[in-house]
């Protein structure tokens, strides 16, 4: 029987699967569900300094081929997730997870939130979300290359704990080059590609209306729709980033084959968003079985044997 054991940063996980931030991780109860599930690890809902109610509803809809959301960063505030993270870390030091941090106010709140974590007892992994597409009037940080460079400079001037960045999808090879060049200058431990494809539009054919209320129906697209873009982003960064920067592959993972493809492109951990929302926690068990079947068929004993080994046509 092959193993799904995965080394990520300084931690070893039974398998690479996690939730994607935003799904099943708003409350301590949600997080407990993940902690007790078959997932190898989990990430918390992106937190802002202050608790937020988020955008007006309806703000999420499952679609035949994915999902659209404009949640608008609803969360219980950084202290809520940080206090819980510290408690979990003290109770089970070997059960690593990821604390997700965002910003509502922009640049300075990102810095302030990271300072809060630096000054806390939490010393586990942090995912800095530079790619929320759904706050009206606020652009996605990681589409501004100069600001991203400036932000990472400011943060790494004081931040000494392990962290990575959640990126939006990029669509141009030059942008992969530019962002990789920036990220390679900083002591980040990982990236997470991709966040949802921002500002898509889904129309209800019967009523000729949009399906979510915020931003006139514009929202982040996830699920099956986004897999080719997600794979391209994982692959593009895998071939451009320093070897010590690991990749969390997120986007369009519905089954074992999707997971296998993300790993083949170079991902180390794998996050599931839309399909977790649709299927619930049982998704983790199913996908692991499917991935193990594929590995068995191909004669692989471990993920390390095929990670990153996507073949090109000569
Ligand atoms: O609307 C959200 O809360 C949200 C966030 I922070 C994000 O990073 N990605 C997304 O699709 N939705």
Length, in residues, of the chain? 314
269 lines ligand 1 (CB under 6 A): no
Ligand 1, atom nearest to 273 Cα: 11
Between CA 184 and CA 168 the distance in angstroms is: 17
Residue 243 pLDDT: 98
Query: Which conformational region is residue 228 in: left (phi greater than 0), alpha (psi within -120 to 50 degrees), or beta?
Result: alpha
User: pLDDT exceeding 70 applies to what percent of the chain?
Assistant: 100
Q: For the chain, what percentages of helix, strand and coil (3-state, to nearest 5) are there? A: 35, 20, 45
State the angle between helix axes of 145-156 and 173-183 in degrees (0 to 180), rounded to the nearest 10.
20
Residue with tokens 């219980």, as numbered in its chain: 76
- Ligand 1 binding pocket includes 131 (Cβ within 6 Å): yes
Q: φ, ψ for residue 166 (rounded to 5)?
A: -95, 120
Q: For residue 57, what are its two tokens?
A: 């509803």
The CATH class given to the 6-55+73-197+224-305 domain equals: alpha beta
Domain ranges of the chain: 6-55+73-197+224-305
| Cα–ligand 1 centroid distance for 293 (angstroms) | 33
pLDDT digits (tens, 9 = 90+) for 109-146: 999 999 999 999 999 999 999 999 999 998 999 999 99
Is 25 among the residues known to form the active site?
no
231 lines ligand 1 (CB under 6 A): no
Q: What are 95-106's pLDDT values in tens digits?
A: 999 999 999 999
230 CA → ligand 1 middle, Å: 16
Q: Is 233 in the pocket of ligand 1 (CB under 6 A)?
A: no
DSSP state of 216: G
Q: Which atom of ligand 1 is nearest to the CA of 55?
A: 1
Mutate to test the pocket of ligand 1, among 20, 133, 167, 218 (most ligand atoms within 8 A of CB): 133
Q: Could you identify the residue written with the tokens 């300094």?
A: 49
Whole-number pLDDT of residue 160: 98
- DSSP H or E run through 288: helix 282-298
Q: Which two tokens stand for residue 303?
A: 């993920």
Question: In degrees, to the nearest 5, what angle opens at C-alpha 48 toward C-alphas 47 and 52?
Answer: 95
Residue with tokens 């080719």: 228
Query: For residue 263, what are the contacts with CB-CB under 8 A and spacing of at least 6?
Result: 16, 249, 270, 303, 306, 307
Percent of the chain residues topping a pLDDT of 90: 99
Please work out whether the CB of residue 100 comes within 6 Å of at least one atom of ligand 1. no
User: pLDDT confidence of 17, banded at 50, 70, 90?
Assistant: very high
């Amino acid at each position: 029987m092959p193993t799904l054991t995965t080394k990520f940063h300084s931690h070893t996980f039974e398998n690479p699967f996690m939730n994607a931030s935003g799904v099943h991780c708003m409350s301590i109860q949600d997080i407990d569900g993940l902690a007790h599930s078959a997932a190898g690890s989990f990430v918390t809902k992106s937190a802002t300094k202050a608790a937020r109610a988020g955008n007006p509803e309806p703000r999420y809809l499952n679609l035949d081929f994915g999902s659209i959301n404009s949640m608008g960063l609803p969360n219980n505030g950084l202290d809520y997730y940080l206090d819980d993270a510290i408690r979990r870390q003290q109770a089970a030091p070997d059960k690593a997870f990821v604390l997700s941090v965002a910003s509502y106010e922009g640049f300075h709140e990102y810095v302030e939130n990271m300072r809060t974590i630096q000054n806390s007892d939490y010393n586990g992994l942090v995912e800095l979300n530079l790619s929320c597409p759904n706050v009206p009037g606020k652009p996605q940080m990681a589409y501004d290359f100069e600001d991203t460079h400036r932000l990472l400079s400011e943060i790494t001037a004081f931040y000494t704990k392990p962290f990575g960045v959640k990126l939006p999808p990029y669509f141009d090879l030059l942008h992969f080059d530019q962002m990789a060049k920036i990220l390679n200058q900083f002591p980040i431990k990982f990236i997470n590609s991709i966040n949802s494809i921002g500002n898509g539009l889904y129309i209800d054919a019967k009523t000729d209306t949009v399906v979510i209320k915020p931003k006139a129906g514009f929202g982040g697209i996830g699920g099956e729709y986004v897999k080719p873009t997600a794979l391209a982003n994982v692959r593009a960064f895998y071939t451009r980033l320093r070897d010590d920067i690991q990749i969390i592959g997120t986007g369009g993972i519905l089954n074992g084959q999707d997971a296998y493809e993300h790993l083949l492109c170079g991902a180390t951990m794998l996050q599931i968003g839309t399909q977790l929302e649709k299927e619930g926690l049982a998704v983790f068990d199913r996908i692991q079985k499917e991935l193990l079947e594929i590995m068995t068929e191909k004669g692989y004993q471990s993920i390390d044997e095929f990670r990153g080994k996507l073949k090109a046509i000569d």
